[in-house]
Amino acid sequence: MSDIFSKILGIVLAFILLAFGPLTINALTSDLTMKRASINEVTNFINKVTDSGRTTEAELADFYLGCASHGVVADVTVKRYVKIVNPDGKGGTYTSYVLSTDLSKWNRGDVVQVTFKAIDWTGAQRILWQLLKMAQPKFEFTLAGKVR
């Protein structure tokens, strides 16, 4: 009797490994590809801004569309920090950065900061939660660059 039970258990475990293993690996692979593509999109935008020193509304719209086209629903924010050099009262100066809402014209020394926050869970995160009850954090990163 125990021999039949172990055979049935072996067949069930083999089915689980054959069915859910490749599904999980495929979802994780596409998830990692999506993350890498999103990081590349943000890096390319920061490089464009730091090299040219300006952005247009069309470039911003193209950037937001590019971030949304990689398979993740995300909230992307672009911030501009304006460099201000102030006297310190001792004959020297100190530098501070002030957040600005004007994203069209950038000055030398300004900082562009892009924050990418995933809103929804990815397919791999859902599969890992359903199968293993393991919750990964949502995908979020911030990159910055200084205008040359």
Give the pLDDT band (50/70/90) at residue 73. Answer: confident
Mean pLDDT of 8-18: 88
Amino acid identity, position 39: I
- Residues sharing a CB contact under 8 Å with residue 89, sequence separation 6 or more, in sequence order: none
Mean pLDDT of 56-75: 92
Is the pTM higher than 0.85? The answer reads no
Q: Maximum CA pair distance of the chain?
A: 92
Q: Are strands 140-146 and 93-100 parallel, antiparallel or unpaired?
A: unpaired
Question: Could you give the CA distance from residue 81 to residue 144 in angstroms, rounded to a whole number?
Answer: 10
How crowded is residue 68: how many other Cβ atoms within 10 Å of its Cβ?
Answer: 14
CB 38 within 8 A of CB 119: no
The pLDDT assigned to 1 comes to 58
Task: Name 93's bridge partners.
Answer: 87
User: Is the pLDDT reported for residue 25 higher than 90?
Assistant: no
